[in-house]
A and B are shown apart, each in its own frame.
Chain A
Amino acid sequence: EVSSLLSAYSTEADPSSYDDNYRILQQFIEMSMDGNKCELSLLLYPVFLHMYLELVYNNHQTKAKAFFAKFRGEMEHYHDADLHQLSNITTKSHMEGNNFIYNLKSNKFVVRISRESNHLIKKFLEDKNVPIIRNILNVQVTIDEFEGLPRTKNQIWASAGGLCGEAKQEENKAKVRTSKFFITTLATVGEIFPSFHIQVYYGLLKEPDIDIPLEDEEDTLEDQTEGGGSSKSKRRKKKEFLSKKNKSDPNAPSVTRIPLPELKDADKVEKIAAAKESLKRIRLAGTDRVSPSVCCYTFTNAFGGVTAVDICDDSTLLAAGFQDSHIRVWSLTPRTLRSVKSASELGLLDKEGDDIFDRMMDDCTGTESKSLYGHSGTVYSLSFSPCRSLLVSASEDGSVRLWSLLTWTNLTVYKGHVWSVWGVKFSPHGHYFASCGGDRVARVWVTDHHQPLRVFAGHLSDVDCVAYHHNSNYVATGSSDRSVRVWDVLNGNCVRTYTGHKKPVMCLAWSPDGRYLASSGEDSMVLVWDISTKVLIAQFKGHTAMVNVLAFSRDGEVLASGMSISLYGLLGGMDNSVKIWDFQQMISDIDSDDIGMLRGHATISDKNYLLSDFPTKSTPILHLHFTRRNLLLAVGVFVN
């Protein structure tokens, strides 16, 4: 298969004419107008790449080496990783069986340029005698043309860097839709938006009704003991909170779009507790903000062995995965971890009793931490279920395992991934979880089936991280092909593709309102994407090393209660610091009428949104978690 793809390279062309051809292209770009220059120079890299491979394929090794050495220095820095791989390939036999080459050959390189620039290229190819370039542009490169002015250098830079060029606009556009409603919208909106996108229902699901009176009563009781002053404002806060909650979001998918498990009594109690605690939340952005407090959990004596960490939603449990393939769960509260009693003992219990959940646990087994053994390779990712009784883990051995935190045993092994599983994430509603791995696909599973429900294929390289949308309808993935994709769980389609990262994407986070997606990775930039308009809206620069984890503060819930928007992005990285960015300010600074944004170009300002920066003492941060009150928990490993 690969060799047939490669055969496209065979040509009779004179190896010495490559230099001249490339020079002519360079000169043409040099001579073009300033406005078009940046766009046209995008062509240099794919032409260089394929010229080199063509030379190698046709056994002109010394010529290829000379060509590479001559022009390599002129490439953009973000191509360095690829060029490094390319420089390894020096003979035809190397090209066969190489993943990198396979990706280049099986996907055309996408270059996005304006119609005007495209016109210039066509003219250039007609005027000049450059058969090699013409051939490469025809066979290996897709030119994604758009209307309007050419993009600026910054705009181009922001979205460049993908393994096979930029994401095509059509990929995010609506394809075939039969719904009558949709066609009419397409007609009206299509005029303003030259590229209309597949609709993504990014809104949050309507919260199920919870027994409110009970909650109010308790609250008044509390207020009376505290004194009358604050009770009024608190009550108002609560009213707003509840009224907002009951309104339905126009962007939300219907509750039944993806079947979700029914709420149990215990879940309802949990939800009430969460809502109550969120009322005590402090604000970290805006005018009356409080500077954040960070509590750091540091692993010592770990010898660099901790590879994955997760904290459960109510911040009571912490799980750590180790390089030696075991998992350990700690309790972050004075309450110890207990396992359930044996079956015979359970039979004796009164099942109707109120404290049945407490009594079914065996007090003798209480310890501060418990270990889980089962994997046979490094544990790369962990995720708690929202109900706190289950844990999924992903490992180098290619399996995903489901653990019960009641019996502290392994329940199921999900096999399907061929190589390492890099990431796993429980759905915020439980029941489902998503995993991704070295076999370039992400999968969605249900806990009670041993086979995946969905397989998301499309990434060109390892899928390094996965994040479930808050409404459980979408899954975002980040990959080593330096792109971020969003998938619809309902039909398995890829609904968004974003390029702009210059190195593998290692972490993702959805904003609590579900509209924005933040991603980061080895290139140490944090990029924020708007799901509704499909544009890159911010680049947070400041880290100097790989960013391991991103976390949004809980204020998305505050947003739902009608208070002013107070979103807050946050991240930690291997330059051993925790940085806090003013996400709210960034969102309010966005000019939604910006013409570039309407055209789907990346629009970013250079403003610095860094709020605080907390360096740690040689402790890389592995995980960040906001408690419901917006206290930040950071987890790191002390490296001696």
Chain B
Amino acid sequence: IPQDSVKSIGESIGILQLPDHAMKYLSEETSFRVKEIVQEAMKYCSHRKSNKLKCQDIDNSFKAKNLEPLYGFISEEFIPFRFASGGGRELHFIEDKELDLNEIINGSLPKIPHDVAMKAHWLAIEGVQPSVPENPVPETHFSIEVLKKGDLKEGRKGVPPMKSCHKPENSSLVALKSRFTHELSVEQQLYYKEITEAAVGSSEARRAEALQSLATDPGLSQMLPRFSTFVSEGVRVNVVQNNLALLIYLMRMVKALMDNPTLNLEKYLHEMIPAVMTCIVSRQLCTRPDVDNHWALRDYAARLMAQICRSFSTSTNLIQSRITGTFCKCLHDDKSSLAARYGSVAGLAELGTDVVQNLALPRLQVEGGRIKNILESPLLNPIDRTAAEHLRGLLVKHCGPVIKTIRQPPDHPEEYLKDYGSLGPLICQHIIKLR
């Protein structure tokens, strides 16, 4: 607990002039006590056989220390910390909205939560895990190495017949499953067919339904590998054919899968990321680049990529740094097309202001020069012109807010021209508008 916090807490209860040494003592003492309480609470947490510390554990530890528990705090599974910065200070806080009591009283009652239920299923039958929805997907388990094949004598009835209530519902399915192939049930196959047809079909209403189903239905994890392959193959084929509409549909599918809280895409990122990446930086995505709005696809895919980075990037897989590396390489390559550059900038911009500041700003001068050259060249074709204009607009749009935070007013177009090259004056205008 830093001294600043002690100070502001003191101020909030009317103690204005705390001497420094008192503050230091208080901050040390409170830190120590808080640590002590949390340590005690950890004990309760592990006895609950859980690894998530909850408010109740803290309450219990208060109780054990003979302190009054704090009433009225309940922990939620998901605590959205908001981030705010300003005046050189950073702050994380929980948004605590004011609730209108009337609304709550007059509103309909929330649904009663389901009662605790107990369900039986086979985790293993003679050492083999049947692939039922209750068991993890076969890719993730590795019991195969441990088991010795020869031990499974055919026709041997080792398990005593179970009472009827122990039997899982789809026992016929269980018996047919081999350990390696992972087949879908007939219903699942039908579902897969319907969904994929609707997702890339011509009816927008059906597509919306299919995407809704992908984004919300639990229990799709069995089919996830198929969907992942569908997307990656689809992108591969349609990029070659420059079929913009289909690419957009596929990206929307990825988005829906990402949004499904019951699915974990981590195991399929090796297929997803290249597909999404292609839609961001590919040289050509549509048949008529001068008219078709492939920029929207690039923007959408870039947002998707940023979402992937946020969800799955860890210090071990380094997804984010590998992605930024790819974008930068494309940006630094003189031969890459304007459309690819547009995609790279869009991709970088979605990864946050830090990335923009460190990787895009230094390129501003070079890119500005290039755009200027293209626009002023005598042999200007309409494709290049729209591309250059889009790229210019994008750079101004994303670099503007970043430059705004690092530069103090007044803003002189000349200074901007000096610092940021030919795009300087445009950015300057943008910033003046922003301020």
Contacts and interface: CB of A to CB of B under 8 A. Distances in A.
Interface stretch (B47-55, B314-322, B377-385): B47-55
A380 B47 CA distance: 7
B129 A291 contact: no
Contacts of A91: 28
A232 interface: no
A323 B162 CA distance: 31
Contact of A291 (B56, B115, B120, B147): B147
Interface residues of B, number: 55
Contacts, number: 168
B116 A290 contact: no
Contacts of B129: 614
A91 B118 CA distance: 51
B141 A615 contact: yes
Interface string B124-157: 1111110000111000111100110001100010
A229 B120 CA distance: 35
A148 interface: no
B166 A616 contact: no
B163 A318 contact: no
B148 to A, nearest CB: 9
Contacts of A305: 116
A291 B128 contact: yes
Contacts of B152: 291
Contact of A296 (B35, B117, B121): B121
Interface residues of A, number: 71
Contacts of B159: 282, 293, 631
Contacts of A620: 49-50
B119 A297 contact: yes
A307 to B, nearest CB: 5
A508 interface: no
A396 interface: yes
Contacts of B49: 307, 546, 548, 574, 620, 622
B36 A88 contact: yes
A328 B116 contact: yes
Interface string A269-313: 000000000001010000001111111111111111111000000
A420 B118 contact: no
Contact of A293 (B39, B50, B147, B158): B158
Given A610-B146, A617-B136, A301 B141 contact: no
A153 interface: no
B97 interface: no
Nearest to B121: A296
Nearest to A419: B64
Contacts of A98: 36
A94 interface: yes
A464 B47 contact: yes
A378 B195 CA distance: 45
A63 interface: no
Given A323-B56, A328-B116, A292 B127 contact: yes
A634 B64 contact: no
Nearest to B164: A334
Nearest to B136: A617
Contacts of B50: 304, 620
Interface in B306-364: none
B114 interface: yes
Interface in A60-107: 85, 88-91, 94, 98
Contact of B163 (A90, A296, A333): A333
B8 interface: no
Nearest to B124: A294
Interface string A354-379: 00000000000000010000000110
A613 B142 contact: yes
B115 A293 contact: no
Contacts of B164: 334
B396 to A, nearest CB: 45
A611 to B, nearest CB: 6
A85 B119 contact: no
A611 B146 contact: yes
Contact of B123 (A280, A396, A614): A614
Given A307-B47, A631-B160, A396 B60 contact: yes
Contacts of A574: 49, 51
Contact of A578 (B60, B122, B123, B163): B123
A162 interface: no
B370 to A, nearest CB: 51
A438 B35 CA distance: 19
A615 B156 contact: no
B35 A299 contact: no
A295 B132 CA distance: 13
A303 B156 CA distance: 40
Nearest to B151: A291
Contacts of A32: none
Interface string A602-640: 000000001111111100101000000101001000001
A330 interface: yes
B107 interface: no
B51 A506 contact: no
A140 interface: no
Given A293-B126, A294-B122, A301 B113 contact: yes
A304 B53 CA distance: 12
Given A94-B32, A292-B124, A420-B64, A300 B116 contact: yes
B229 interface: no
16 contacts: A88-B39, A282-B160, A293-B158, A298-B121, A302-B116, A304-B48, A332-B166, A378-B60, A380-B47, A396-B44, A419-B64, A438-B43, A438-B64, A617-B134, A620-B49, A629-B160
Given A307-B49, A380-B47, A396-B60, 14 more contacts: A296-B120, A298-B118, A298-B119, A298-B120, A301-B113, A318-B118, A334-B165, A380-B48, A462-B43, A578-B123, A614-B141, A617-B134, A617-B135, A631-B159
Closest 10 CB pairs of A and B: A291-B127, A290-B158, A296-B123, A294-B123, A301-B114, A294-B124, A617-B136, A293-B159, A615-B141, A291-B126
Interface of B: 28, 32, 35-36, 39, 43-44, 46-52, 56, 60, 64, 113-129, 134-136, 140-143, 146-147, 151-152, 156, 158-160, 162-166, 262
